[in-house]
């Protein structure tokens, strides 16, 4: 595997679920697929995101479809407009150089009532090792990287609030620390982007709050030789499914 993934194509899957012949839920998933998947790392990346695609469609069938079917029957009884649930999975590559490949995948669930639920996860791959890189590896050993990220986010939230460009929950200071997840990050050209889930620290109108730590603020892209890889079970979860 070289310094970058040279070619990707989207792998796309679509499904539709019906009740009494009426579509109530449609789903579309699009994940990255290296072309050709000729080496170990490319094959691993391909399997990883195809698993994410299958997990997403399984979630739609097991969780969203029963909700859509129940809403359909309730709408018939109440003579309301029939529901049209929709779920989407997509991705955005944010960094691809120096042997590091970073992106985020994002799901969007629309039920027709209330704001759509958006969920994001970030992945950064070491193309030479063939495994995702943990967040702590982008900081010098022994530095308080978590404290630095939390302080940077708090300063940015206060700045946005003073400028009228951000609205936060009243208990955002507590939730900022409590809901921090070291897997919620990805690389960009400008620096390391890290984020909190929708609703964690802000109302739905703020979407997914994202913050940026520039590379000149202590982020290192140099990988130490012999760094142990992330165990894939830690990334996929106990049952081999994406969190």
- 203-221 confidence digits (pLDDT tens): 999 999 999 999 999 898 8
**CATH code: domain of residue 209:** 3.90.640
Q: Are residues 127 and 28 in the same domain?
A: yes
Q: Are residues 214 and 243 in the same domain?
A: no
Mean pLDDT for the stretch of residues 66-71: 96
Q: Are residues 218 and 109 in the same domain?
A: no
Structure tokens at 203: 């109302």
Tell me which residue range forms the domain holding 163: 135-222
User: DSSP letter string over 178-227?
Assistant: HT--TT-EEE-SSEEEEE--TTTSS-GGG-S-EEEEEGGGT---PPPTTP
Instruction: Give the 3-state secondary structure percentages of the chain, helix then strand then coil, rounded to 5.
Output: 35, 30, 35
pLDDT at 230 over 50: no
The structure's pTM equals: 0.87
In terms of Cβ atoms closer than 10 Å to its own Cβ (0-12, 13-18, 19+), residue 40 is exposed
Structurally, the chain folds into a number of domains equal to: 2
Mean pLDDT for the stretch of residues 35-61: 93
In whole angstroms, give the CA distance from residue 132 to residue 104.
Answer: 12
Q: Are residues 39 and 151 in the same domain?
A: no
Tens of pLDDT, residues 117-138: 999 999 999 999 999 999 999 9
In whole angstroms, give the CA distance from residue 66 to residue 161.
Answer: 40
**CATH code: domain of residue 20:** 3.30.565.40
Q: Could you list the beta-strand ranges (E) of the chain.
A: 8-19, 22-34, 85-97, 100-110, 117-126, 131-132, 185-187, 191-195, 210-214
Q: Are residues 121 and 144 in the same domain?
A: no
pLDDT > 70 in the chain, percent: 91
Mean pLDDT for the stretch of residues 185-203: 97
- Give me the pLDDT at residue 237, please: 47
Tens of pLDDT, residues 69-112: 999 999 999 999 998 999 999 999 999 999 999 999 999 999 97
pLDDT at 1 over 70: no
Q: Are residues 81 and 28 in the same domain?
A: yes
The CA R_g of the chain, rounded to the nearest whole Å, is: 20
Question: What backbone phi and psi angles, to 5 degrees, belong to 127?
Answer: -70, -25
Q: Are residues 121 and 145 in the same domain?
A: no
Tens of pLDDT, residues 3-31: 777 778 999 999 999 999 999 999 999 99
Q: Are residues 129 and 139 in the same domain?
A: no
Mean pLDDT for the stretch of residues 151-177: 95
- Is residue 187 within 8 A of residue 95, CB to CB? The reply is yes
- For 81, 125, 148, the CA distances from 3, given in Å and listed in that order, are 53, 11, 29
Question: 3-state class of 236 per DSSP?
Answer: helix
Q: Are residues 64 and 110 in the same domain?
A: yes
- Give me the pLDDT at residue 201, please: 97
- Give me the pLDDT at residue 224, please: 53
Report DSSP state, residue 116: P
Q: When comparing pLDDT for 31 and 232, which is higher?
A: 31
- Give me the pLDDT at residue 2, please: 56
Q: Which helix (H) or strand (E) holds 60?
A: none
Q: Are residues 91 and 123 in the same domain?
A: yes
Question: 3-state class of 4 per DSSP?
Answer: coil
Q: Are residues 216 and 238 in the same domain?
A: no
In whole angstroms, give the CA distance from residue 168 to residue 162.
Answer: 12
- Give me the pLDDT at residue 38, please: 78
Q: For the chain, give the mean pLDDT.
A: 90
- Is residue 190 within 8 A of residue 213, CB to CB? The reply is no
Q: Which helix (H) or strand (E) holds 144?
A: none
């Amino acid at each position: 595997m070289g310094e970058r993934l040279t070619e990707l194509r989207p792998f796309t899957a679509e499904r539709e679920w019906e009740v009494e012949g009426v579509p109530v839920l449609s789903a579309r998933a699009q994940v990255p697929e290296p072309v050709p998947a000729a080496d170990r790392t490319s094959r691993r990346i391909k399997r990883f995101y195809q698993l994410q695609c299958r997990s997403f469609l399984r979630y739609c069938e097991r969780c969203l479809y029963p909700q859509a079917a129940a809403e359909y029957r309730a709408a018939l009884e109440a003579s309301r407009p029939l529901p049209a649930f929709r779920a989407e999975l997509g991705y955005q590559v944010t960094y691809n150089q120096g042997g590091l490949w970073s992106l985020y995948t994002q799901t969007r669930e629309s039920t027709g009532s209330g704001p759509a639920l958006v969920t994001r996860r970030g992945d950064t791959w070491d193309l030479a090792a063939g495994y995702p890189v943990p967040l702590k590896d982008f900081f010098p050993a022994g530095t308080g990287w978590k404290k630095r990220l939390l302080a940077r986010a708090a300063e940015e939230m206060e700045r946005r609030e003073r400028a009228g460009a951000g609205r936060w929950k009243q208990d955002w200071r507590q939730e900022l620390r409590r809901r921090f997840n070291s897997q919620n990050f990805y690389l960009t050209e400008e620096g390391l982007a890290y984020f909190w889930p929708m609703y964690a620290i802000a109302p739905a109108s703020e979407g997914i709050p994202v913050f940026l730590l520039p590379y000149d603020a202590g982020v290192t892209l140099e990988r130490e030789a012999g760094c142990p890889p992330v165990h894939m079970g830690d990334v996929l979860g106990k049952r081999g499914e994406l969190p």
